[in-house]
Structure 1
Amino acid sequence: MTAQAPISLLVCALGGEGGGVLSEWLMDVARAAGYAAQSTSIPGVAQRTGATTYYIEVFPVPLAQLGSRWPVFSLSPVPGALDALVSSELLETVRQVGNGMSSPERTLVISSSSRALTTQERMQMADGRLDSAELLRIVQGFSREHHVYDMAALAKEAGTVVSAVMLGAIAGSSLFPFRREDYEKVVGAGDGAGALASLRGFAAAYERVHAPRQWLRDAGLEATAAPGAQEATDWPAPVRQLATLGVQRMLEYQGPEYAALYTARLRSVLAAERQADPAGRHDFAITREMARWLALWMAFDDIVRVAWLKGRAARWQRVRREVKAGEGDLLRVWDHFKPGVPEFAALLPAALARRLTAWDRARVARGAAPWALPLKVGTHSVFGMLSLRFLAGLKWLRPRGSRYALEQALIERWLGGVLAAAQRDWRLGHEIAQCGRLIKGYGATNERGKDNLLHVLEHLAPRGEPAEAAAAVRAAREAALADDAGKALDAALQQHGAPPRPVKAVPVRWVRRPRGLPAAKES
C-alpha cells in the first residue's frame, strides 16, 4: 500500500450475517473520518454455493488534503492485489484463496474458524467434513499476516451478529487510517440493547486482533527487530503463526529478552531441520512442534503468573459475563490460593530454596502434612487486587529463582536431544520434539512429565537404529499420555529394552485414631 493507491478490502459473509450492514458501517466510518471510499457487492448464488462479497476501497489521504482532486476506485477486486480479506467462514476464506485473491506477500487475512457445512459434506455416509487443519494451513501459506478465530462464538457471547465482530477485527488490524472512536461512534449510533451488544462484539474482536499486533510492535517485530528477535515474516509459512504466537507469549510472560531466547532456540531447531530435510517435504513439522511446546514450557506456571492471570481486566469482564451481572449489579469474587514450599522456593536463589525444601521434607518425614499457606483473596476489593498486582509485579525475581534455573536446564536438555536426534534422522527428531506434550499441568503431574521425558531422552532416543529409536520414543510417549499411573509407560519401556523408571520414595504418614472410634479387631 502507498499513499497514492487505495486500500482494498474484500468482505465475505454468508446469508443473514449482516454483510451489507458491515459494508454500510465501513462507508459511514470513512465519511465521518473524512476519507474517500467506495463499496460494491456481488450477491452469492445461495447460502452455501457462494458468499455475498463486498468490495471496499479507501483512499488513505484525507479529503481535506486532496483539494479538488478525487481518487479513481475499482469496481471489483484484482486477484493478487488485495490488501485484506475478511471472511466469516473458514471454507469461504479458502475458496477466495483458491480464486487467487490472497497474496502471501501482500494480503492480510482475517477469518472465522467456524464452519457452515456444505451439502457435499452433509451427504457423506461417514464423516464428510473437510479437515479444518488443512484449510488453516492453506490460509497460513497464502497470507502476509493472518488472524483466525471463532467469530461466531464471539458474536454469541456478546449477543450480537457476526458483522459487528468482523468490523471490530478490521478496526483492530489498523488496515484503514481510522481511529477506534470513529468505528464505535457509527456502531453505537443506534438505540437500545442492539447497539450495546454490537459494541460488545466489536470490542471483543478488536482486542482479539489488536493485542497480538501490539505485542509484536512492542517487541520491534514490525519494524526494527528487538535484540535477538527476528521479524515474523522470516519464518517459513508453516511455522510463522506458531512462532509469532510463541514470541507474543514470551513478551507477555517475561519481556523482550525472554522472547529473544525463545527465538534463538527455535532458530536452532529450524537450522537443524533444514539440514535433516533440505527439500522441506515435511513442512517443517519439527520446528512447528517445538514452537508450540517450547512456548508452553518456557511460560511455566508459578505464583507470579497465576497472580497476573487472575488480576487481568479481561478476566473480571469474563466473570461478569459468565454470571450475567448487569451494569447495576454488585459482584464479589473470592479467589482461593494455597501456595506451599515449592511455590515460595521457586522464587528464591538455589541455596535458600534447598534449605526451605529440606525443612519441609523433614516435616513430612515426621508425619506432618506439607506446609502450605491457605489464602482467601477478595479480588473485587482494592486490597485484593493490589495484592495480585504486587505478586504479578515480582516477575523480575523469576530469573533469579531456583525454578527458573531448573526449568531452563531441563529445556536445554530436551532441545539438545531434538537437535542431536534430527542430525541422525528426521523422524527421530520429530518424535522427540512431540515429547514436549509430556510437560503439562502443575505440581506432581508436571514433575512426573519431566521425569518421563528425561527417561525417554536418556534410555530410548540413543538406542539402535534411528527408525527403531523413533518407534520406541513414539510408543513410550503415547503410553505416558494414555495412563497417568505410569503402568502403560513401564510396559512400553520394558518392551523396548529400556530400564524401568526409578521408584520414588513416598513417606508413610501415621494418623492418630480419633477419640471414640473403636480399634480394628484382629482377625
Structure 2
Amino acid sequence: MKQTQPISLLLCALGGEGGGVLSEWLIDVARRAGFAAQATSIPGVAQRTGATTYYLEVFPVPVAELKGMRPVFGLNPLPGRLDALVSSELLETARQIGNGLVSNQHTLVITSSARALTTMEKMEIGDGRRQEAGLLQLVRENSRAHHVLDMAAITREAGTVVSATMLGCIAGSGLLPFARADFEAVIGEGGSHAGPSLRGFTQGFDAVVRQRAQIRQIEDSLSNSELPALITRGLPADLASIFPQSVHDLLTLGHARMLEYQDAAYATRYAERLKRVLAAERHIDPAGANGFAITREMVRWLALWMAFDDIVRVADLKSRASRWERVKGEVKSKPDDLLMVYDHFKPGVPEVAALLPTGLATRLLIWDRRRVTRGKEPWAMPLKIGTHSVFGMLSLRVLASLKWLRVRGSRFSQEQDTIDQWLDAVIAGTQAHWQLGHEIALCGRLIKGYGATNERGKENLLHVINHLAKAAPFSTDAARAEAIAAARTAALSDEAGKALDQALVQHGAPARPVKAQPIRWVKTPPGRPPAPLPKNG
C-alpha cells in the first residue's frame, strides 16, 4: 500500500545562506517530477544574524495517480512527527531538537558539523564554545538515522553557497521520491550561478551516498569485537594497549600533533608524561568509575601546551600548501587570476630570544628591558613578506626548518619546566583525592594565546598551584578542589585578573603580586602647547 501521509522536512539555515532558495528548489523539483508539495517559512531577522527555517511537505504519490484528488498539507511541523531535519549549523540543529520536533523513531537528521559561533560564545575570555561532543550526542540520541558532514568545507571547495550543498545531501539521502536528474535540471535553470551550485550539489550528494554505503558496509561486515580496532586506527599499538578506550580519540590527535610539531622523541615524551598521570589515576580509581577523566583532560591540554606557538611554528603554518589552497578558496580565485599574498610579521626580542640558549637570551632580554626603562618602545622588526614569491616562500620554509633549534632555545626549556610543575601538581593532587587532581588538570585551560596573554596564563596557573594546590590550609581535599575550581573560573571570566585575585583571597591565598611597569615619558609634538598643571584645592 502506498504511503498516504506527506513527507515532512524542516530546513534550517542562517540568514544569508540561501535557505529560501533551497526551499524554492525543492518545490520546483517536486513539480518537475510530478509530485505535489507545499512550503512555509519563518525568515530570520536579517542577513547573517538570525536563523531561517522552512517547512516543506511532499506528497509521495505522483499527482497523475491521485485521480483528481488533492492532498491536504500542514503549515508547521508536528512534534515527533518530522521525517527529516536538515541544518547548515550544528548548534541550530541542537536548538531544533530541543524544540521537540524530532524523534529517534521517525526523524532523519542531516546536519553540518560546522559552527557559526554565537555572540555569547565569542564574548567569553576562556573557551566559550559549546562542546561539539555534547551536540553530536544529542543528534545521535534523537534521530532514527543521521548524516553529519562539514557542509562549510564542501561549500568553500565548490565555490558556492551552502543551500546547494544541502540540496545535494537531501537528494543523496534517498528520502524524497525524485530522480537525481530532476534536481540537476532545476539547478541548471539558475543561469550563470548554475555551475558552482551544481558542484556543491554533487559534492553534498556524493558525501551522503558514501556515508550510507559505509554504514551498510559496517553493519554487514564488522562484528562488535572489530569496532575498537577501527576507532584506534592511527594510534600506535603500544599506546592503544596501555591507555583506556575512553582517551584513544584525543590521544590519537595529540600524538599526531607532537609528531608534526617536533619529532618522534617529542611524541614519546608526551606519552611518557601521560603514563605517569594514568598510573596515578588508576591507583586511586582502579575500576575507572570516573571514565579516566583526569587522563583525558591531560591528553587534551598537554598536547596544546607542548605544541606552543613560536616563530618556527608560525612560519610552518603560513607556508603550507593547504594554507595557500585555503586562501585561494576564501577569495574565490580562478585559475587565470593573479593572486598575491603578503604576510605581516613583527618579531620582537622575546621571539628572537626564544630560539637562543639561555645565557644569550637573558642578556638580550635585559638589553631590551633597559631600552624600555629609558622610555623607548620594545625592540621589534616589522616585516612584510610576499608568500606568493619564491623568495618569500623560501624565507618561511627556511625558518620552518629550524625545529632542531627550537629544542635548544631558552623558551623550550622554560616551557618544559613549567609543564613539569603542572604535571607534578596534577599527579600529587590525584594521589591525594580524585577531584583535586581533576581540577588541577582542568587548569590547563588557563594556557592560551601567545605573547603577554600566554605569559599571564602561565603566571596565573603557577600562582594557583603554589598557593591553593599546595600552601593554603584546607579542612579537606574536596574543599581545596572547590577552591581551585573557583579560582580557575574567575581567571577565565576576567581578563584583568581582579576576579581571580578576589577568589584567591577568599580562599586564604595571597593575591597575585603587582608587576612593576616602567613610566614612559612622551615628548609633546611640535606646535602643541603643554597641558596645564592641575590647580590645588
Q: TM-score range by the shorter chain?
A: 0.5 to 0.7
The verdict on how the C-alpha distance between 1:15 and 1:224 changes in structure 2, with shifts beyond 3 A counting, is closer
Note if 1:362 corresponds to 2:370.
Answer: yes
Measure how far apart 1:499 and its partner are. Answer: 1.3
My pick for the range that moved more, 278-287 or 248-257, is 278-287
Aligned CA RMSD, in angstroms, stands at: 3.8
Partners of 2:371 and 2:307 lie apart in 1 by: 31
Give the aligned partner of residue 273 of structure 1.
281
Matches within 5 A, 1:40-119: 113=113
Measure how far apart 1:396 and its partner are. Answer: 1.1
Of 458, 480, 486, the match for 1:475: 486
Partners of 1:319 and 1:338 lie apart in 2 by: 21
Matches within 5 A, 1:418-429: 418-429=426-437
8 A Cα contact 1:367 1:510, kept in partner: yes
Give the aligned partner of residue 133 of structure 1.
133
Identity of aligned residues (%): 58
Structure 2: which 5+ runs fail to align?
A: 1-8, 12-21, 23-59, 61-77, 85-92, 98-103, 106-110, 116-129, 141-146, 171-193, 209-231
Indicate the SS of the match to 2:407: helix
Note if 1:511 corresponds to 2:522.
Answer: yes
Partners of 2:82 and 2:312 lie apart in 1 by: 51
Give the aligned partner of residue 154 of structure 1.
153
Note if 1:383 corresponds to 2:391.
Answer: yes
My pick for the range that moved more, 454-463 or 406-415, is 454-463
Partners of 1:256 and 1:203 lie apart in 2 by: 37
Note if 1:497 corresponds to 2:497.
Answer: no
Indicate the SS of the match to 2:334: coil
Quick one: which amino acid aligns to residue 315 of structure 1?
Answer: R
Indicate the SS of the match to 1:335: strand
Note if 1:295 corresponds to 2:303.
Answer: yes
Indicate the SS of the match to 1:413: helix
The verdict on how the C-alpha distance between 1:163 and 1:264 changes in structure 2, with shifts beyond 3 A counting, is farther
Matches within 5 A, 1:402-413: 402-413=410-421
Measure how far apart 1:287 and its partner are. Answer: 1.1
Matches within 5 A, 1:69-468: 113=113, 133-134=133-134, 150-157=149-156, 158=158, 159=160, 161=165, 225=236, 230-232=238-240, 234-462=242-470, 463-464=473-474, 465-468=476-479
Indicate the SS of the match to 2:396: helix
Quick one: which amino acid aligns to residue 492 of structure 2?
Answer: L
Partners of 1:293 and 1:202 lie apart in 2 by: 37
Partners of 2:441 and 2:481 lie apart in 1 by: 11
The verdict on how the C-alpha distance between 1:432 and 1:268 changes in structure 2, with shifts beyond 3 A counting, is same
Measure how far apart 1:237 and its partner are. Answer: 2.4
Partners of 1:165 and 1:270 lie apart in 2 by: 42
Partners of 1:407 and 1:504 lie apart in 2 by: 21
Q: Deviations over 1:62-90 (max 9, x none)?
A: xxxxxxxxxxxxxxxxxxxxxxxxxxx99
Measure how far apart 1:486 and its partner are. Answer: 0.8
Quick one: which amino acid aligns to residue 490 of structure 2?
Answer: A
Partners of 2:306 and 2:112 lie apart in 1 by: 29
Partners of 1:502 and 1:338 lie apart in 2 by: 30
Measure how far apart 1:235 and its partner are. Answer: 2.9
Measure how far apart 1:151 and its partner are. Answer: 2.4
Structure 1: which 5+ runs fail to align?
A: 1-13, 18-42, 52-88, 93-97, 100-110, 116-129, 141-147, 167-190, 206-220
8 A Cα contact 1:266 1:291, kept in partner: yes
Measure how far apart 1:233 and its partner are. Answer: 5.9
How many residue pairs get aligned? The number is 372
TM-score by length of 2: 0.62
Measure how far apart 1:154 and its partner are. Answer: 2.4
Partners of 1:363 and 1:149 lie apart in 2 by: 55
Partners of 1:345 and 1:203 lie apart in 2 by: 51
Measure how far apart 1:352 and its partner are. Answer: 0.8
Greater Cα radius of gyration, structure 1 or 2: 2
Quick one: which amino acid aligns to residue 154 of structure 1?
Answer: A
Indicate the SS of the match to 1:516: coil
Measure how far apart 1:161 and its partner are. Answer: 3.6
The verdict on how the C-alpha distance between 1:223 and 1:403 changes in structure 2, with shifts beyond 3 A counting, is closer
Indicate the SS of the match to 1:377: strand
